[in-house]
Structure 1
Amino acid sequence: MDRKYWVPALERADLILMAIARKPGEHKLTDLCEVTEINKSSMFSLLRTMETLNWVKRDEKEAYALGAGMAYLNTVFNESHKQNYNLVSQFLQASLESVRAVGETFQLSVLDRSEIIYLAKQEGPSLVKLASSPGMRFPAHATAMGKMMLALLPPEELDKRYPGKLLSRVTSRTVTDWQVFTAKLAEIRSSGHSVDFEEIIEGICCVAAPVTDASGRGVAAVSTSMLRHAYLDKQETALQEVTRLGKKLSLGIQSGASFTS
């Protein structure tokens, strides 16, 4: 977009909403200033305006969460994206078999700019529960699902999502060098699967596969996550199951059919 028509206040509001969405009920005004690098005066005005519009709400501890206005917009958005509803429904059915086979949690997400948004999660029997739920966002470049979907983008579209070719470091294993990153995306595109080896959370590994439409365009991704030692034992089974699940969901999208596992 031409910066000539850019509205800085809207950009700041977006930064605030994303920060709140990632950690609802945890950030106070000063926390949001630190996270977004927005000065206190501007932050105060923006938060008060968004409170009035019901975009955010403030609790008794002065911490912020998304408000009813955002819930309404989410409802309208979901209504206009019914394919996601069908995909979630199919995932929740089909992933039961995958969870039984691997014994770990499976996730479904879509790509939004340079982040992934979790659409659904099927919990496994593991005592270790991941701090993830539908609606949560994570940087795409540090996740298996994100890298899988980024790998299927045309080069010009990838460049649009990372105009400065900057990749933030999340853990010590996160790839931040652009040339190394794009080389890995090429490997992922060739292999048809992606692995996150402690790149988003220390001690957690993840393997992902794409969900594609009839044209081969990546519309979503599925993954299974587990502790590092479990992944070393289960990686072959995990890859087989996540690939099978991705193909099954892809066929569902391409045929418009629903199914049970």
Structure 2
Amino acid sequence: MERKYWVPALEKANDVLMQICERPSELKLIDLSKRLEINKSSMFTLLNTMEALEWIVRENDATYSLGSKLGSWGNAFFKQFSLIDRFRKEAAVTKHVILETIQLAKLEQHDVLYLAKEEMPSPVRISSEPGMKLPAHATALGKAMLAWLDPAEFDALYPADELAPSLTPHTLRSREVLHHGLVAVREAGCAFDLEEAVMGFCCVAAPVRDGEGRVVAAISCSMFKHDWEQKRELAMNEIRALAQRLSQS
């Protein structure tokens, strides 16, 4: 791995975690200092910081074990695979109700990352595939997740008023317009894309939440514009219901 932008402090923290992982509740500060060849003063500062972050726990006998924060991270890691499995089972049923393709994605900075797709046979295939990214502001999936960001997170993602890139003539171009639209998304519990990502296609999406109510993903249904008015209410209701089933209550 390229070490040009390496952070030595993070490497040391990782080394400490690996030692504690291999021998939980056995190693004290002096043991870790000797094993990793880090002086006691630096080791004390490192351990104290990691303890405050709940990465590790100092036991009564002054040994260390892994903290609850790492446990929650581990659960989050495996839940993402569990979510995809549940999506495939649930969406395989819902797609036959709507008769349209359903997709699952998560937010990565300004983009949505497609994770899975349950596809209905169609003469025109939806181009988005697992692993593909699209700008969040141009998609219903993105708006369904952006709507629940903290204001500070939203401002950090979109510091400038102009949004880019524009995928179609209908793509939102202003942060102010996007922000106003996200209020409506929160009220409705779902988001729309009216030819904003692909000309000729409309889409509805709803957020998927974890056990603590945080939005961790979104699901969507896309269809031809000429089917939109006929199927809009059905798709909206089914996608919101599917998102609710996939969310961790």
TM-score bucket of the superposed structures, by smaller chain? 0.5 to 0.7
SS of the aligned residue for 1:119 comes to strand
Contact 2:105 2:217 in 1 (8 A): yes
State the distance in 2 between where 1:123 and 1:85 align. Answer: 19
Contact 2:104 2:114 in 1 (8 A): yes
Match of 2:137 in 1: 141
Contact 2:160 2:175 in 1 (8 A): no
State the distance in 1 between where 2:218 and 2:242 align. Answer: 10
Match of 1:116 in 2: 112
Stretches (4+) displaced over 4 A: none
If you compute each CA radius of gyration, which structure gives the higher value, 1 or 2? 2
State the distance in 1 between where 2:237 and 2:163 align. Answer: 30
Equivalent of 1:215 in 207, 212, 215: 212
Equivalent of 1:167 in 160, 163, 167: 163
**What is the CA RMSD across the aligned residues, in angstroms?**
1.7
Residues 24-54 of structure 1 show CA distances to partners (whole Å, capped at 9, x for unaligned) of: xxxxxxxxxxxxxxxxxxxxxxxxxxxxxxx
- CA apart distance, 1:80: 7.9
SS of the aligned residue for 2:168 comes to coil
- Number of aligned pairs? 176
State the distance in 1 between where 2:115 and 2:128 align. Answer: 10
Between the aligned residues of both structures, percent identity stands at 40
Give the structure-1-normalised TM-score.
0.65
State the distance in 2 between where 1:142 and 1:221 align. Answer: 14
Structure 1, unpaired ranges of 5+: 1-6, 8-77, 255-261
- CA apart distance, 1:214: 2.8
Equivalent of 1:158 in 146, 151, 154: 154
Aligned ranges 1:175-254 → 2 under 5 Å: 175-250=172-247, 253-254=248-249
- CA apart distance, 1:79: 11
Relative to structure 1, the CA distance from residue 191 to residue 80 in structure 2 (aligned partners, 3 Å threshold; closer, same or farther) is closer
State the distance in 2 between where 1:241 and 1:191 align. Answer: 14
Give the structure-2-normalised TM-score.
0.68
Contact 1:116 1:140 in 2 (8 A): yes
More displaced 10-residue stretch of structure 1: 161-170 or 137-146:
161-170
Structure 2, unpaired ranges of 5+: 6-73
